[in-house]
A = this chain, B = another copy of it.
Amino acid sequence: MTTYRAQVRVWLKPSVFDPQGNAVEKALLTLGFAGIEEVRIGKSMEFLVTADNQESAEAMVDRACRDVLCNPVMEMYTFTLEARQEA
């Protein structure tokens, strides 16, 4: 078995309005950060995955994203996997 470190990022789809990003953008503008635009805010997740090989680890993370971590109607996700050490 191998342990992998997964890094998942979940974002609102470009077509979906991002109220949080919009609020942060206005706050930054008010505080003098004039050069910052198009702020989008998402979720970052990191966890360990123990699996037989890279392929089954990827399958597990992909399924976890689709079923639990991401709302497929409004969000999209990307993830990376890095092998750590033999479990």
* Interface residues, chain A, with chain B CB atoms under 8 Å away: 6, 9-11, 21, 24-25, 27-28, 31, 33, 35-51, 57, 60, 63-64, 67-69
CB neighbours (8 Å) of A28 from chain B are 64, 68
Docked complex Cα distance between A28 and B21 (Å): 28
What is the copy number of this chain in the assembly? 2
Quick check: A44 and B47 within 8 Å, CB to CB?
no
Quick check: B49 and A35 within 8 Å, CB to CB?
yes
Contact of A67 among B31, B41, B51, B57 (CB under 8 A): B31
Interface of A is mostly: strand
| 5 A/B residue pairs, CB under 8 Å, sorted by A | A28-B64, A35-B57, A35-B60, A36-B60, A42-B45
